């Protein structure tokens, strides 16, 4: 009868330890449900929901982004037709330039999405969202404070019974009010849009799930190899007895 050496017992113990570790990992994966089809389905539904929400919110966002500079251009034109009764401030042109910059950024993002560069767009949005909204809000606050008295005693909502000097003044008042309302509506809306864009699950979740699946598959391969080695050792042991 041939005795089993100490080295064989050590190897067998190591295999048992590896098998035990693999079983614990597999149990943890099963507990978190990362490798199941239901987990894939839930992630896919969340990503689909994110796409639907962003798609629905993008339409009014684009409209506001285009209406804001258009109203400001209209305001500049109508103020110039008041024969000097209404004067523009320098901040008006700074705000207009910044509005056009937002439109250019929107066009660049649209082109990148059309060409399939969704990941690059999302990274750019994440980078811009760190400082661009704060600059925009600062410009709006300065703009609102600087232009608060540009119409004198005329109420903000331009009532019909007010004694205007000319119909052009009343039209300028309406355009100014619409411009300010659209500006702040756009600001609140885009902040809410950025929060949704950054919070809702993106396609990165799919990549994480795929990575988990690869790890899951490799663990199963190791587990299978350990079983084969364990069986071979037991077989050799029984043959040598």
**DSSP letter string over 39-71?**
HHHHHHHHHHHHHHHHHHHHHHHHHHHHHHHHH
The closest of 35, 88, 70, 24 to 186, measured between CA atoms, is: 70
Q: In the numeric block, which tokens belong to residue 39?
A: 């987990």
What pLDDT does 119 receive?
66
Q: In the numeric block, which tokens belong to residue 27?
A: 């149990």
Are 152 and 87 in contact by the 8 Å Cβ rule? The answer is no
Are 240 and 74 in contact by the 8 Å Cβ rule? The answer is no
pLDDT tens digits for 90-130?
888 888 888 888 778 777 766 666 565 666 666 666 666 66
Question: What is the C-alpha separation between 189 and 192, in angstroms, rounded?
Answer: 5
CB neighbours of residue 99 within 10 Å: 22
Cut 0.75: pTM above it: no
Name the region of 72 (left: φ>0; alpha: ψ -120 to 50; beta: rest).
alpha
pLDDT tens digits for 170-227?
999 999 999 999 999 988 888 887 787 777 765 554 444 454 455 555 555 555 555 5
Phi, psi of 50 (to 5 degrees): -60, -45
Q: Domain segments of the chain: what residues?
A: 58-203
């Amino acid at each position: 009868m041939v005795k089993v050496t100490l080295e064989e017992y050590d190897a067998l113990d190591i295999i048992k330890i590896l098998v035990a570790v693999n079983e614990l990992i597999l149990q943890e994966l099963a507990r978190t449900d990362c490798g199941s089809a239901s987990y894939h389905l839930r992630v896919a539904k969340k990503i689909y929901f994110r796409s639907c929400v962003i798609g629905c919110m993008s339409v009014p966002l684009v409209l506001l982004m285009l209406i804001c500079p258009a109203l400001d251009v209209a305001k500049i034109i109508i103020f110039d037709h008041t024969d000097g009764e209404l004067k523009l401030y320098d901040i008006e042109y700074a705000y207009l330039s910044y509005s056009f910059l937002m439109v250019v950024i929107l066009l660049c993002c649209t082109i990148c999405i059309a060409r399939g560069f969704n990941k690059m767009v999302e990274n750019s949005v994440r980078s811009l969202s760190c400082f661009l909204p704060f600059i925009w809000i600062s410009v709006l606050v300065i703009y609102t404070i600087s232009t608060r008295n540009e119409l004198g005693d005329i109420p903000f909502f331009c009532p019909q019974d007010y004694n205007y000097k000319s119909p052009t003044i009343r039209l300028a008042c309406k355009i100014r009010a619409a411009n300010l309302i659209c500006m702040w509506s756009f600001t609140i809306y885009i902040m809410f849009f950025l929060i949704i864009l950054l919070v809702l699950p993106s396609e990165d979740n799919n990549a994480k799930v795929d990575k988990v699946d690869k790890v899951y598959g490799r663990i199963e391969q190791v587990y299978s190899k350990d079983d084969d080695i364990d069986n071979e050792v037991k077989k050799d042991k029984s043959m040598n007895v």
